[in-house]
Amino acid sequence: MSAGSAFHDVSVTIEQNVVSGDTSVNRYTSRGTHTDSGRRYEVLSMDMVRVRNGRIVEHWALRDADAMRDQLGL
């Protein structure tokens, strides 16, 4: 699922950010409404990035996709 035109009023709240050396981890909550059904979702996600010379060289991401599908009735 992408957050393109299928969703509106999408927002992200960063719950926590941890930086250690060249790695940054963000835990955040995403919220939005499915444009066609009007159903809302709220899911927890996490991204970890490692930066070298000002560029992202590694990225890991976790999202509770099952919770999002359940909330949207998919």
Q: Which domain holds residue 13?
A: 7-72
Total number of domains constituting the chain: 1
Q: Are 30 and 2 in contact (CB under 8 A)?
A: no
Residue 1: per-residue pLDDT: 47
Q: What is the pLDDT of residue 71?
A: 95
State residue 4's pLDDT score: 53
Report helix, strand or coil for 4: coil
**Tokens standing for residue 65:** 């996709």
Q: How far is CA 60 from CA 9, 25, 30, 39, 71, in A?
A: 25, 9, 17, 28, 24
**Residue 3 pLDDT:** 46
Whether 2 maps to a domain, the answer reads: no
Structural domain includes residue 1: no
Q: State the pLDDT at residue 8.
A: 87
For residue 11, what is the domain's CATH number?
A: 3.10.450.50
Question: What does the longest C-alpha to C-alpha distance in the chain come to?
Answer: 44
Is the residue at 48 inside a domain? yes
Divide the 74 residues of the chain into consecutive groups of 10 and give the mean pLDDT of each group. Answer: 72 97 97 93 96 96 94 91
Has residue 28 been placed in a domain? yes
